[in-house]
Amino acid sequence: MTAANSVNPSPGFIRFGLYPASWMAVLAANHLVVNELAGPRLVWGSVIGILAVTYLAVEFAWPYERRWSMTWRSLLDDLRYAAVNTAFVAGLSALLSLFAISISGNLIGPASNWPLPVQVVACLLIFEAINYALHRAMHEMPGAFGRFLWLTHAAHHLPPRLYLVMHAVFHPLNGMIIQGLAIILPVWLMGYDQKAVTIFLMINGMHGLISHFNVDIRMGWLNRIFVGPELHRYHHSADQSEAMNYGATLSVYDQLFGTFVYRPGEPPAELGVDERAGLPEYGKWFRVMALPFAR
């Protein structure tokens, strides 16, 4: 930890209570889905929307590392992505999530007759295995194809900041690769129940949001199971020796394959990518979009 770090601890009820409260919201939504008290699409959209608004308010009130907070300048850059790219990616992500919920109601596969809790666990483990492999390949695979994968993913790592809105900042190709191969394909092949897919997507969506949270959240031993801000901050570190933690929702594969970095209470010194990588600035939208096609 360097002197440049200016961490701002959040109040105890936020630091230790917000993550369990988020789980309570997801479990309450699960109850609605399992007991068919509301439509799965409505429940999924509502719980993710409520969590996002809540997290934005908390992040505004208690930013953990002030250097990583959203500024007017970074907001303008974000809006440029939001107007074209992020709107596409977030819209695509939402549509693919809703599509996954829809097709799961009409599919038969090896998981179709499994108990609902077993289906949810299988959904999480299979998604995370594919996501981990793809995500790690985007960072570490050598050769021309490895570089192509990295350049589809690099947009997410260019900002030297980390805050909630950044969760939606991706190159469209990155979104299609992850959503298509790690979510849609397994749902199609496995034949999960629609309820299981909805529950999985709520758990996955909650962790996707909170992992990019610029707020002092402590998950304790749960970091050994799930991915939160304490782990994902290090994935965005500018120091490649510690920029690991490739999991999106579960941290189990990082522990299994030796890419787990957990340093409680110690944020990385710098975020972003090394200037020597020769990548454009985050604000250079057209150049960032052209990266995967550059020779």
Residue 2 lies in a domain: no
- Average pLDDT of the chain is 87
Give the domain range for residue 60. Answer: 12-293
The burial class, CB within 10 Å (0-12 / 13-18 / 19+), for 86 is buried
Spatial CA neighbour of 248 closest among 104, 133, 94: 133
Residue 38 lies in a domain: yes
Spatial CA neighbour of 262 closest among 217, 229, 292, 295: 229
Residue 246 lies in a domain: yes
DSSP 8-state assignment for residue 152: H
Sorted by sequence, the CB contacts under 8 Å of residue 104 that are 6+ apart come out as: 187, 191, 192, 193, 194, 196, 197
Residue 75 lies in a domain: yes
Residue type at 276 in one-letter notation: R
Write down the pTM of the prediction.
0.88
Residue 287 lies in a domain: yes
Q: Residue 250 forms beta bridges with which residues?
A: 226
User: How many domains are there within the chain?
Assistant: 1
- The tens place of each residue's pLDDT in the chain, 295 residues long, gives 344 556 788 999 999 999 999 999 999 999 999 999 999 989 999 999 999 999 999 998 999 987 766 554 555 666 666 566 555 655 666 666 666 666 666 667 899 899 999 999 999 999 999 999 999 999 999 999 999 999 999 989 988 888 887 777 778 888 889 988 999 889 888 989 989 999 999 999 999 999 999 999 999 999 999 999 999 999 999 998 999 999 999 999 999 999 999 999 888 989 988 876 788 887 787 898 899 997 6
Sorted by sequence, the CB contacts under 8 Å of residue 12 that are 6+ apart come out as: none
Residue type at 269 in one-letter notation: A
Q: Quick one: tokens of 109?
A: 């596969």
pLDDT score, position 167: 73
pLDDT score, position 91: 65
Sorted by sequence, the CB contacts under 8 Å of residue 295 that are 6+ apart come out as: none
Ordered alpha helix ranges (H), 62-193: 72-80, 87-103, 116-140, 143-153, 172-178, 185-190
pLDDT score, position 136: 98
Q: What SS3 state is found at 250?
A: strand
pLDDT score, position 2: 40
Residue 130 lies in a domain: yes
Q: Which helix (H) or strand (E) holds 235?
A: helix 229-235
Residue 82 lies in a domain: yes
Q: Are 22 and 202 in contact (CB under 8 A)?
A: no
Residue 227 lies in a domain: yes
